[in-house]
Structure 1
Amino acid sequence: MTTTTPPTHLPPPYAPTDSDSDPDSTFRHIITSMLNSHHHKFGFLIYRVNYDNDALWQNYLNIIDQQTREYVVLEKKEHLLPHIAWTPMEDREKFEGATKDEIREFFRDWIHERSEDRDGPGAGVDNTELIRWSPRYKACMYVNGEMMQGAKMQTVDFLPGGPQLHVQGKGVVVDGQYDEHDRDVLRRSAVGAREDFEEVEGRRGWDVGWMYFTLRGVHMVYETLCMSEEEWTSP
């Protein structure tokens, strides 16, 4: 099945609430990014590069979506639920076995082709605030077979506050704006380092254009990227 053009997902305009400015709110920066970008969705595109097991893939997607919804409810932000948009990107012919750098190029093509007809209000190319503020248009997720196999979720009921989801696994988020030369120049000018980094998948440097994260914190990765209006923040 090919779904390189995401299914239509057109949430209603976001209606701010009095609690949105709470400095302790987990989703405060996500809300700010939606309002500033004039595009009321949050969630990454999720690129599938392994096609051996559809059930594992669906499980991976379910874990991301279900735990996000649980956190939204726990934070009493139910009005955010219609705006969640973790979008699966599947195309066996194009994406199977693709590297992270290759997925970045597919993602850039998707950004270039954005439109309100495809992506909803605020997604047109004339909206200069979109890529400045929305992580959905700055980074994407990359998922291989190992990540699918390692993704687990269960409900535990011995924690304070009642039953909660317990999630295991990892993911990769790819910086759609990555430029290897520019990053290397920035790093050397700031630190004066050159060869003191381990090689990672053929690349050596402070920022290799992607990073691992624990699957349990996927919404926090998105939240973190909302805090910077200009660019990716490397760990």
Structure 2
Amino acid sequence: MIGADPEAPWPPPLVPWETDCMSLTNITRGMLATGHPKWGFLIYRCTYDGQADWDAFMDAHKIEAGTTLEAVGRILRLPPYLQWTVADDKASLDGASKGAVRDRFCEWVATRSNERDGPGAGREDAPAKLPWYRYCLYVDKECLDSLRRETLRSGNVWLYGHLVLIDSEFGRRDVEDSYIPSEEELEEHREEMEELLEDGISPERLGGA
């Protein structure tokens, strides 16, 4: 499974046919602009009904992340800097509301520092350049119950279900300024990704050299 590698070189090296013109470019650019060598989402665990269910969710989430990175042509460059950090505190998070988690996340972002979080974290523009300090994942029992895995003929795993993405800037912007894709657009994107995975991944299909 993919995950952070403390021995990964910095800055992230370019590799054959992976270029900054490809998908997820902003993640790499944000890390380079700030010098902050990590990306991903802080995951808030808000259900403690069963450890086995939680472990299955995390395993499937990591497998699906690897599948997606391969599908968009970033499997070599981004995984060494991907963090899997879980806020795990049953006393304060079990059954916590989304609003409570947002407040907690905002406080965590506001108190970031180079000392606590690593180089570049203390920059004023870090939340604007790094999704790590803008969004977090909220996982409750409903999310775990929605999880369904499907193994494609290619051997890749597609993860079905839903998570809750919390935006620390929610309520601070004009909603009309935000683009929200329709259900039809999301379904079309999912079908395109499935076709890529079924057919196998190639540089030509993904826009590489």
TM-score (norm 1): 0.65
Are the aligned partners of 2:66 and 2:75 in contact in 1 as well (CA < 8 Å)? no
Q: Map of 1:2-151 to 2, 5 A cutoff?
A: 10=6, 12-17=9-14, 19-22=18-21, 25-74=22-71, 75=73, 77-123=75-121, 125=122, 127-151=123-147
Number of matched residues? 176
Question: Counterparts of 1:46 and 1:63 in 2: how far apart (Å)?
Answer: 14
Cα distance, 1:32 vs. partner? 1.7
Counterpart Cα distance in 1 of 2:55 and 2:48: 11
Provide structure 1 residue ranges, at least 5 long, that are not aligned to the other structure: 1-7, 192-205, 208-212, 218-235
Tell me how far 1:73 sits from its aligned partner: 3.4
Paired letter, 1:59: A
Structural mapping, 1:144-159, within 5 Å: 144-157=140-153
Distance 1:16 1:147, change over 3 A: same
Partner Cα separation in structure 2 for residue 177 and residue 9 of structure 1: 30
Aligned residue for 1:195? none
Q: Give the secondary-structure state (helix, strand or coil) at the position aligned to 1:21.
A: coil
* Aligned-CA RMSD value: 2.9
Which structure 2 residue ranges, 5 or more long, are not aligned? 180-185, 191-209
2:19 and 2:125 map into 1 onto residues whose CA distance is 20
Query: Alpha carbons of 1:97 and 1:76: their partners in 2 closer, same or farther (altered >3 Å)?
Result: closer
CA deviation after TM superposition for structure 1 residue 77, in Å: 3.3
Between the aligned residues of both structures, percent identity stands at 27
- Displacement of 1:177: 2.0
Letter in 2 for 1:46: I
Equivalent pair of 2:45/2:93 in contact (CA under 8 Å)? yes
Aligned to 1:167: 159
Cα separation, 1, equivalents of 2:5 and 2:74: 23
1:98 to 1:35, Cα distance in 2 relative to 1, 3 A: same
Tell me the CA shift for residue 112 of structure 1: 2.4
In structure 1, distance between residues paired with 2:86 and 2:148: 18
Contact 2:61–2:159 (Cα < 8 Å) also in 1: no
Letter in 1 for 2:92: K
Separation of aligned partners in 1, 2:148 and 2:93: 24
Q: Deviations over 1:72-124 (max 9, x none)?
A: 2342531321111132111011111111110011111211232333322222x
Q: 1:169 offset after TM fit, Å?
A: 0.7
8 A Cα contact 1:147 1:171, kept in partner: yes
Q: Residues 175 and 76 (structure 1 numbering): CA distance in 2 closer, same or farther, change over 3 Å? A: closer
Measure the CA separation in 1 of the matches of 2:116 and 2:52.
Answer: 27
Task: Provide the secondary structure at the position in 2 that maps to 1:79.
Answer: coil
**One-letter code of the match for 2:128?**
R
Task: Give the aligned partner of residue 221 of structure 1.
Answer: none
